[in-house]
Structure 1
Amino acid sequence: MIGVKLKYLRIQKGYSITQLAKKAQISKSYLSYLEKNPETNPSLHIISKIAAALDTSPNYFIDQEQEEGKEEINQEWMDLLKNGLEEGITKEDFEEFQKYLAFIKYKKSH
């Protein structure tokens, strides 16, 4: 299911296949192959390059627990996102909120 997660996150981040391939320093054709063949298991090295380019952990692609309840969570998140957009929240507002949450998590752990 790596290909499905890869495509989902690539689209969420707003990258084309070409842009992500360049950022991850892998071939565009291989990236496209991974997305179209979700049962393919690339090497950890490739997963790490893609994860870094998408600002996530390699565990995002490997962790099977994320598969459980995925549709339910996605619909819930999509509803939240839709409501936020309707209320005028911008991409920049959301990014700032993410930074704030990361700061709060950091403060709690230190």
Structure 2
Amino acid sequence: MIGEHIKQIRKKRKMTLAELAERSGFAKSYVSSIERNRQTNPSIQFLESISKELDVSLNYLLYGDKNDDVLDKDWQHLIQKAQNLGVSKEKFREYLEENKENDGYKSNL
């Protein structure tokens, strides 16, 4: 399933297999084996690199259109930036809880 999503997205982006392989830093034969579902357990590094080169979220890469909860690019970039800065989910939840009175924000985080 992952391989099919990669292939669909790559073709939609008008990118050849060789281009995707070169840009992602993985061998063309490896990318091909993933796309053809011969290799069914790609590493997280592979998936992250491919999702970056195809400009889609990991979630979309894994689940395609079936997931209605795909975040827009601004949220994706904001979340990625927070992760890169070492902000944990717990710390983010704490921040929201501390600031919900100020914004009138109510949630069951």
TM-score by length of 1: 0.56
Unmatched 5+ residue regions in structure 1?
69-100, 104-110
Question: Do 2:2 and 2:62's aligned partners in 1 also have CA atoms closer than 8 Å?
Answer: yes
Larger Rg: 2
Q: What is aligned with 1:2?
A: 2
Q: What is aligned with 1:37?
A: 37
Q: What is aligned with 1:51?
A: 51
1:102 Cα offset (Å): 6.7
Moved over 4 A (4+): none
1:62 Cα offset (Å): 2.4
Aligned pairs (5 A) from 1:1-110: 1-37=1-37, 40-63=40-63, 66=66
Taking the aligned partners of 2:7 and 2:38, their CA distance within structure 1 comes to 10
Taking the aligned partners of 1:29 and 1:42, their CA distance within structure 2 comes to 13
TM-score by length of 2: 0.56
**Relative to structure 1, is the Cα distance of residues 67 and 40 closer, same or farther in structure 2, using a 3 angstrom cutoff?**
farther
From the two aligned structures, give the one with the greater helix fraction: 1
Question: Do 2:5 and 2:64's aligned partners in 1 also have CA atoms closer than 8 Å?
Answer: no
Aligned length: 71
Taking the aligned partners of 1:8 and 1:26, their CA distance within structure 2 comes to 18
Unmatched 5+ residue regions in structure 2?
75-109
The CA RMSD measured in Å over matched residues stands at 2.8
